[in-house]
Chain A
């Protein structure tokens, strides 16, 4: 017997197929979507201007400011999310070798994947700015200028770049299944790019050779893979429940 949700999905699929065969496909979305006209009020068009070939176009400077406000709130939201995840105590999972895993980079991946390249990178930069101002938002209650002098500064620099790349991949894989696209973006942006910048950072700051620095950093990769999986699940959930929030795709 299939689990409950697969049974339901199978049932739904069968119903749709029946309707298609009967030529009775009036329930499908394209019959219900109201084509936009230029004169009626529409909240998202009011903010972003009319849609031209699926992309928002900014019309005039005033509109640009309003759009900036909405983006500003989203950027601040994800910066705060990264901060809040830094307050989650690290967990050490036995099957990952007992290396403590912090939730913070989950926020970095989410920012990139959900917000898209520019806003995602800005959110991470805003978070780092607050840390530099002295707020103890980094995991372990660290904060202040001291952390930017530490050996892991390369990873901190890698975060905004990673978010940028993750957002860019998410945006350019619009046609792909969202779960898969989010996983790929988070893995490439949140792991590959971040480590590509972080490992040379450790090597320079701690005077180690690159392979040694890579060895020292590699213990965190299993935990990061776990966060990639979580990112993909969260993005898929949000895409179902609140699709407008997946800004990298809307």
Chain B
């Protein structure tokens, strides 16, 4: 399934998800206290060596930074314009380290492990009648709906292309919205017919 998770069995994969999440949260809080290069450069080296320890595929995961590079560059330009270039460099370096560290957890933790690790956070919501099953079901529904919507749109576009010869049109929005919305109504009815999100046993 699509995810930023990288298949593997490294030391980082074997660590429990909760521990990794806690470590990254603490490290980020700690890092926010410092702006000196003497702290930031070793921290960057540490994060990069974490990625490197996963091998070539691990280093390829640095692509997240590439996706964000325009944003970071724009921020650097804004710093430069306001005459605080050096400060800008340290802050953006710190941001990059925090992004990479958090991303490392996502890269080395399977999605269901992550779900299990954050499940206790939903515990207080049970007072309001919110069950963990609901969260799990809604996650599953989103994962099914998202590709289905792309299929619906692709079909509409194909038909449109066959009729008119042009590829895209805003006119496809209306049938797309109505087709996919009525699909969600069918799913809601199907769910009800099967006893709802709590199942028939309740």
- A: which residues have CB within 8 A of B? 47, 61, 64-66, 68-70, 72-77, 79-81, 83-84, 87, 126-127, 129-130, 133-137, 140-152, 202, 205-209, 212-213, 215-216, 230, 233-234, 237-238, 241-242, 244-245
Contacts and interface: CB of A to CB of B under 8 A. Distances in A.
Interface stretch (B38-46, B99-107, B159-167): B99-107
Contacts of A209: 82
Contact of B74 (A66, A207, A216, A230): A216
17 contacts: A65-B198, A68-B197, A70-B192, A72-B191, A73-B184, A76-B145, A79-B138, A80-B142, A83-B142, A84-B147, A127-B142, A134-B106, A134-B109, A144-B107, A146-B103, A206-B92, A208-B79
Contacts of B84: 207
Interface stretch (B8-16, B52-60, B175-183): B175-183
Nearest to B176: A234
A246 B150 CA distance: 22
A206 B77 CA distance: 11
Contacts of A216: 74-75, 78
Interface in B93-141: 95, 98-103, 105-107, 109, 111, 114-115, 118, 129, 134, 137-139, 141
Contacts, number: 199
Contacts of A83: 142, 146
A74 B184 contact: yes
Contact of A75 (B99, B103, B111, B138): B138
Given A74-B184, A81-B145, A206-B95, 14 more contacts: A65-B198, A69-B191, A73-B188, A126-B139, A134-B3, A141-B67, A142-B64, A142-B68, A144-B64, A206-B78, A206-B79, A206-B91, A208-B78, A234-B177
Contacts of A126: 138-139, 142
B81 interface: yes
B26 interface: no
A68 B104 CA distance: 36
A129 B119 CA distance: 12
Interface in B22-41: 24, 28
Identify the 4 closest CB pairs spanning chains A and B, nearest first: A144-B106, A146-B103, A80-B145, A76-B141
B141 A135 contact: no
A141 B61 CA distance: 12
Contacts of B115: 133
B158 interface: no
Contacts of B156: none
A237 B149 contact: no
Interface residues of B, number: 71
B12 to A, nearest CB: 14
B188 A70 contact: yes
Contacts of B101: 146, 149
B100 to A, nearest CB: 7
B82 A212 contact: yes
Contacts of B147: 84
A221 B73 CA distance: 19
A174 to B, nearest CB: 20
A149 B98 CA distance: 6
A223 to B, nearest CB: 15
Contact of A151 (B5, B72, B134, B173): B72
Given A135-B3, A149-B99, A206-B92, A212 B68 contact: no
B111 A135 contact: yes
B125 to A, nearest CB: 12
Contacts of A233: 170, 173
